[in-house]
């Protein structure tokens, strides 16, 4: 085990640490949840997961939570029993949600197996399921007591999933660690080749940026919202494309739009914004989408209704200089049409 940091999130201790594959599975696991892709990756000798969830947004539903809770009861788990969830963000969100409900909260250990879950989803206590088209509508803030990360696992991640996760890494660099952006820029080929050393360093830095924001603001009353950079635009693209756009790829497209908005608002320097967008393109990200700008604006309005307030945009004014802006629909439409 190699400690990244021991955090305290709203009073809950949470350890983030690197593990070798052999030590990754917690020996005191009482109930093991995985998905079809990860079940064979994480094994304790002879142990199979007791619950195999189907990965993918469409399966982030109450029925999965019910299965976990029923089995926890049937096995007679206590409040100090460990439920371990290994998988991408859908699995870690659902395992932690079930853990937050069982006996009003039992012990939860998460093993994120996608880059996106390692650098974002599994850390910070946001748990939940979707309700219809509304993502993460039902859930809780319940940090896992430990997030165990094995970067070695990423070598077998499908290409699109890798770049979706790298989108969240780039987001984290812009909002909280510009030195990491230089590291990425100076090591482009190593990033493309999934060099283990560079990946470990990027994950470590993302965990530190996110963890420090969550320590300050677990319930997203303030600066935690910076982590949603690219997400207001990105969620609209995801929804209008009926989730054909993977989350992390939609977030990069959304960051492109947020950069355009920033320049149009007179916040970011145009050359800086173009430089960042050029790096996105260099990694093969698409900053153009075929979806209708009107439909995307409408999707954002739905999002606004969901949040019961005005629509907020997280706008990058420069490296590690993030603003929260309320934008007029006509202005947003112009940006979407660009």
Binding site for ligand GLY (CB under 6 A): 120, 124, 126, 224, 227
| Residue nearer to ligand GLY on the CB measure, 25 or 253 | 253
| Residue nearer to ligand GLY on the CB measure, 203 or 227 | 227
Tokens of 311: 């629509």
For residue 120, the minimal CB distance to ligand GLY (Å) is 5
| Residue nearer to ligand GLY on the CB measure, 79 or 219 | 219
Q: What CA–CA distances, in Å, run from 145 to 11, 110, 167, 312, 337?
A: 11, 8, 26, 31, 44
Cα distance between residue 259 and residue 66, in whole Å: 42
User: Strand pairing of 126-131 and 134-141?
Assistant: antiparallel
User: Strand pairing of 82-87 and 29-35?
Assistant: parallel
- Answer for the pair 144, 96: CB distance below 8 angstroms, yes or no: yes
**Helix (H), strand (E) at residue 175:** helix 159-176
Cα distance between residue 132 and residue 153, in whole Å: 32
**Which candidate, 188, 189, 194, places its Cα nearest to that of 161?**
194
Q: Which residue is nearest to ligand GLY (CB)?
A: 227
For residue 124, the minimal CB distance to ligand GLY (Å) is 4
State phi, psi for 324 to the nearest 5 degrees. Answer: -105, 120
| Residue nearer to ligand GLY on the CB measure, 19 or 226 | 226
Distance linking the first and last C-alpha atoms of the chain: 48
For residue 209, the minimal CB distance to ligand GLY (Å) is 11
For residue 220, the minimal CB distance to ligand GLY (Å) is 6
| Residue nearer to ligand GLY on the CB measure, 69 or 173 | 173
| Residue nearer to ligand GLY on the CB measure, 60 or 126 | 126
For residue 214, the minimal CB distance to ligand GLY (Å) is 7
- Residue 5, classified by CB atoms within 10 Å of its CB into exposed (0-12), middle (13-18) or buried (19+), is middle
For residue 84, the minimal CB distance to ligand GLY (Å) is 20
């Amino acid at each position: 085990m190699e400690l990244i940091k021991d955090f305290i999130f709203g009073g809950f201790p949470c350890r983030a640490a690197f593990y070798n594959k052999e030590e990754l599975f917690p020996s005191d696991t009482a109930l093991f949840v995985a998905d079809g892709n990860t079940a064979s990756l994480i094994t304790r000798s002879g142990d199979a997961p007791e619950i195999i969830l189907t990965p993918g947004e469409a399966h982030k539903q109450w029925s999965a939570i019910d299965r976990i809770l029923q089995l926890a009861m049937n096995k007679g788990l206590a409040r100090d029993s460990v439920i371990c969830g290994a998988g991408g963000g859908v699995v870690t969100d659902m395992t932690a949600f079930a853990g937050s409900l069982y006996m009003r909260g039992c012990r939860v250990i998460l093993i994120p197996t996608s880059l996106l879950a390692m650098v974002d989803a599994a850390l910070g206590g946001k748990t939940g399921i979707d309700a219809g088209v509304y993502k993460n509508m039902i859930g809780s803030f319940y940090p896992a007591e430990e997030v165990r990360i094995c970067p070695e696992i990423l070598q077998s991640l499908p290409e699109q999933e890798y770049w979706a996760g790298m989108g969240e890494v780039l987001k984290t660099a812009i909002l909280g660690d510009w030195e990491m952006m230089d590291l990425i820029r100076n090591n482009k080929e190593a990033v493309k080749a999934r060099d283990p050393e560079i990946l470990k360093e990027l994950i470590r830095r993302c965990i530190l940026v996110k963890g420090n924001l969550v320590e300050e603001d677990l319930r997203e009353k303030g600066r935690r919202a910076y982590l949603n950079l690219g997400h207001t635009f990105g969620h609209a693209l995801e929804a209008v494309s009926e989730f054909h756009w993977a989350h992390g790829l939609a977030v990069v497209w959304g960051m492109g739009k947020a950069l355009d908005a920033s320049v149009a608002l007179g916040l970011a320097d145009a050359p800086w914004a173009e430089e960042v967008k050029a790096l996105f393109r260099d990694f093969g990200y698409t900053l153009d989408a075929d979806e209708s700008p009107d439909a995307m604006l409408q999707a954002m309005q739905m999002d606004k209704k969901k949040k019961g307030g005005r629509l907020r945009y997280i706008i990058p004014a420069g490296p590690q200089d993030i603003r929260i802006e309320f934008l007029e629909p006509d202005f947003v439409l112009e940006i979407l049409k660009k």
